[in-house]
């Protein structure tokens, strides 16, 4: 238990009240959509533009979180609609990458956990097999992306984001009692521990391995500022992701990895709580990424649950600082707009700077429910 101070408990309850009012309105408007961002304050619809997009599970996840919190049946109905729509991805196949965990953990695995839906279990197992099929035995890693362009050979590429896809494999082993899925997840986590986390706790985004013989070929800056920099959302994927591997395996080295990344992240949180896209980016332009703050808060809260009483407050207080900054300065609490968090950024060198992004909304919501202490654990 986190045992929040009374003032913090009151703040959490106030935020949940605002979330409920917001989502009551937004869910009705977007009940036949799978959003990624907003345009003029209204959700776009990935069903019409890119059904295979990697973020397409988060809206369904938000609906399951709200259903768990409120019991309102409309949230379950919207989540079911989202999950059904994603079936097209399996038929198309070619657009699917390692991010099938992000897509089917918050949808099918969530549905199965909550309702016991056998069709959802089948979908989740199908996704788990697709993810396991991306494992490179020689290199001990899960391949990130397919060859979408002729100019890039990504056969040896792995990215730090994949740490958050591994829970799909852990779930598959736990569900079937077949160790193969967890063995792949553990091997990838071990490889990532060696190749992605630097001695100071910062992380690489992309590592290229020799796909035939193993071993690191080079690293890439990816969505951060440059090679060797510190993309903040990448830090959070590692922070939260290694924590998930610890929770599913009990291996202390993963907890220690999560803590090492967490302490680097906490040491770099500015006094104002505003998280940049990259901790090593130039001061100007001062690009921000609210999504990194929300994801970090989730991971920090889980670390707090796993450590002793004398350590707990360090992580809880850092999470509260991030979330209170988001609540005060980055959340659009009006019911006229569909987005919640503002100033999310996909990458430093990308056109999607300072926009709303659906996973920012999801992880903010998840973090708040974690603080309340009765969250629906989807990972």
- Distance in angstroms (rounded) separating the CA atoms of residues 144 and 347: 17
Which three-class secondary structure string do you get for 254-320? HHHHHHHHHHHHHHCCCCCCCCECECCCCCCCCCECHHHHHHHHHHHHHHHHHCCHHHHHHHHHHHH
CA 340 to chain centre: 16
CA 56 to chain centre: 12
Q: Considering only CA atoms, which of 274, 273, 272, 315 is closest in space to residue 297?
A: 315
Q: Considering only CA atoms, which of 177, 178, 214, 211 is closest in space to residue 194?
A: 214
DSSP bridge pairs for 206: 159, 220
Parallel, antiparallel or unpaired: strands 135-136 and 42-43: unpaired
> Contact 235/203 with Cβ under 8 angstroms?
yes
Parallel, antiparallel or unpaired: strands 216-220 and 157-159: unpaired
Question: Of the listed 161, 289, 327, 361, which one is catalytic?
Answer: 161
48 Cβ contact list (under 8 Å, min separation 6): none
Does the active-site annotation cover 361? no
Alpha helices in the chain (DSSP H): 6-29, 46-49, 58-70, 73-85, 87-92, 100-104, 110-115, 118-132, 166-176, 180-195, 232-249, 252-267, 290-306, 309-329, 358-372
Name the token pair of 88: 């097209």
Question: Of the listed 7, 87, 99, 200, which one is catalytic?
Answer: 99
Does the active-site annotation cover 284? no
> Contact 308/346 with Cβ under 8 angstroms?
no
Query: 């991010």: which residue's tokens?
Result: 99
Q: Considering only CA atoms, which of 303, 203, 285, 205 is closest in space to residue 246?
A: 303
- Distance in angstroms (rounded) separating the CA atoms of residues 274 and 270: 6
Which residues are catalytically annotated? 99, 161
């Amino acid at each position: 238990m986190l045992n929040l101070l009374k003032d913090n408990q009151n703040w959490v309850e106030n935020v949940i009240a605002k979330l409920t009012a917001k989502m009551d309105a937004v869910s009705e408007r977007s009940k036949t959509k799978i959003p990624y961002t907003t345009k003029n304050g209204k959700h776009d619809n990935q069903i019409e533009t890119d059904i295979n997009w990697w973020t397409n599970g988060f809206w369904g996840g938000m609906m399951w979180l709200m259903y768990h919190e409120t019991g309102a049946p409309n949230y379950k109905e919207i989540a079911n609609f989202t999950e059904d729509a994603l079936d097209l991805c399996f038929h198309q196949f070619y657009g699917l990458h390692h991010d099938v965990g992000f897509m089917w953990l918050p949808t099918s695995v969530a549905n199965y956990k909550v309702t016991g839906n056998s069709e959802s279990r089948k979908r989740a197992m199908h996704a788990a097999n697709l993810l396991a099929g991306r494992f490179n035995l020689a290199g001990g890693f899960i391949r990130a992306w397919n060859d979408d362009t002729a100019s890039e050979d990504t056969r040896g590429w792995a990215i730090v984001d994949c740490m958050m896809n591994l829970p799909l494999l852990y779930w598959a082993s736990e569900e079937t009692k077949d160790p193969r899925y967890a063995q792949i997840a553990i091997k990838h986590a071990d490889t990532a521990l060696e190749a992605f986390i630097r001695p100071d706790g910062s992380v690489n985004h992309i590592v290229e391995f020799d796909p035939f013989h193993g071993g690191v070929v080079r690293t890439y800056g990816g969505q951060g500022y440059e090679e060797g920099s510190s993309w903040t959302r990448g830090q959070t994927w590692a922070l939260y992701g290694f924590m998930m591997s610890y929770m599913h395996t009990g291996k202390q080295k993963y907890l220690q990895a999560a803590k090492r990344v967490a302490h680097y992240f906490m040491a770099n949180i500015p006094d104002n709580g505003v998280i940049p896209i990259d901790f090593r980016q130039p001061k100007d332009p001062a690009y921000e990424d609210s999504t990194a703050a929300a994801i970090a808060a989730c991971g920090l809260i889980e670390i707090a649950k796993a450590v002793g009483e004398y350590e707990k407050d360090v992580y809880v207080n850092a999470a509260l600082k991030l979330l209170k900054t988001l609540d005060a300065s980055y959340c659009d609490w009006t019911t006229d707009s569909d987005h919640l968090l503002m100033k999310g950024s996909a990458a430093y060198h990308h056109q999607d700077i300072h926009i709303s992004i659906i996973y920012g909304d999801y992880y903010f919501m998840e973090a708040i429910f974690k603080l309340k202490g009765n969250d629906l654990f989807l990972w």
